[in-house]
């Protein structure tokens, strides 16, 4: 049974002659073999290396079960089966919205090594949402890559260790922002499901233009006060308003586009129509409703 040891560049190296552990002549990728109870296994087709690798003996030599590690630690120094697992994941957080156009929006991205071994050279890559401008990112190892990407070199993460990235941008359009972030490391990852995360943030429909969309809600012959009215844009923007004591409401600073206005059910009131579609093209618009309340 050939002896397996950890080596550079995400390899598992082995040599059948344990009398000369300081020289290793063949390597294979992590995970390319299945270990038995002693942590050994049959090697996959070998990949030759061009120079000797300096090794340091650790542990017991009983039953040829000696472990070796690089004199300079490799991404994973334990050669037992299942012990070289890295699991780098990313969790986003931040304001869900709605965020006014032109206001700054911050995403907080937490990167964690959930595995049992060192994750070397961890990198976070973020694809900025369409309809946003980059402002800045932290830490200083984050680099903006025009026209719309950020890459952050986070270094090595020990098992259980986390690092935080803060990304700040400015919405430029009244559309839903979809931010996508991925993480990777030099070592193979045992759980690809948490390597990517997506977060959606609604942008406010108001503030992006100079039109007014207004209306009134009447119950019998009187205006209905304190009704919440929602405005949704075709691109996913969102805004809300409350009717005054006469049942009037207004959305200021609306841009050209197609919108849906919908009163929210309150106090057992039914509205007719349930919602209205309004097109804003070069001028403001109106949306009127009647209410029947119990």
Q: Write down the architecture of domain 88-201 according to CATH.
A: Sandwich (2.60)
pLDDT tier, 284 (very low <50, low <70, confident <90, very high otherwise): very high
Q: Class of 206-293 per CATH?
A: mainly beta
CATH 2.60.40.1510 range(s) for the chain read 88-201
Model pTM score: 0.61
Q: Cα separation of 182 and 66, whole Å? A: 37
Mean pLDDT of 172-197: 89
The pLDDT score that the predictor gives to residue 227 is: 92
Q: Is the pLDDT of residue 180 over 80?
A: yes
pLDDT tier, 244 (very low <50, low <70, confident <90, very high otherwise): very high
Q: Cα separation of 106 and 87, whole Å? A: 26
pLDDT in tens, 205-215: 888 889 999 99
Q: Is the pLDDT of residue 104 over 60?
A: yes
pLDDT tier, 84 (very low <50, low <70, confident <90, very high otherwise): low
pLDDT in tens, 191-208: 899 999 999 888 898 888
Kindly report the average pLDDT of the chain as a whole number: 76
pLDDT tier, 267 (very low <50, low <70, confident <90, very high otherwise): low
CATH 2.60.40.10 range(s) for the chain read 206-293
Higher pLDDT among residues 281 and 6, named by residue: 281
The pLDDT score that the predictor gives to residue 277 is: 96
> What is the sign of the dihedral through the CA atoms of 49, 54, 59 and 61?
positive
Q: Is the pLDDT of residue 99 over 90?
A: no
């Amino acid at each position: 049974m050939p002896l397996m040891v950890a080596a550079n560049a995400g390899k598992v190296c082995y040599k059948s002659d344990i009398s000369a552990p300081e020289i290793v002549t063949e390597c294979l990728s992590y995970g390319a073999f299945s270990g038995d109870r002693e942590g050994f296994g049959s090697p996959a087709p070998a990949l030759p290396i061009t120079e000797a690798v300096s090794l340091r003996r650790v542990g017991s030599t009983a039953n040829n079960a000696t472990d070796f590690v690089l004199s300079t630690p490799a991404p994973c120094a334990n050669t037992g089966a299942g012990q070289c697992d890295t699991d780098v994941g990313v969790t986003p957080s931040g304001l869900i919205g709605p965020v006014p156009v032109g206001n700054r929006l911050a995403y907080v991205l937490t990167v964690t090594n959930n595995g049992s071994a060192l994750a070397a050279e961890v990198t976070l890559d973020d694809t900025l949402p369409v309809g946003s401008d980059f402002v800045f990112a932290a830490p200083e190892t984050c680099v903006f890559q025009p026209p719309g990407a950020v890459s952050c070199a986070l270094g090595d993460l020990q098992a259980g260790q986390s690092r935080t990235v803060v990304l700040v941008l400015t919405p430029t359009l009244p559309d839903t922002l979809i931010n996508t972030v991925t993480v990777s490391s030099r070592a193979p990852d045992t759980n690809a499901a948490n390597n990517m995360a997506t977060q959606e943030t609604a942008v406010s429909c108001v503030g992006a233009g100079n039109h007014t969309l207004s209306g009134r809600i009447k119950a019998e012959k009187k205006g209905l006060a304190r009704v919440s009215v929602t405005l949704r844009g075709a691109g996913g923007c969102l805004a809300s308003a409350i009717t005054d004591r006469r049942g009037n409401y207004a959305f200021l600073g609306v841009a050209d586009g197609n919108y849906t206005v919908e009163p929210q059910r309150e106090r057992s009131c039914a509205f007719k129509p349930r919602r209205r579609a309004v097109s804003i093209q070069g001028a403001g618009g109106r949306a009127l409703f009647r209410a029947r309340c119990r």
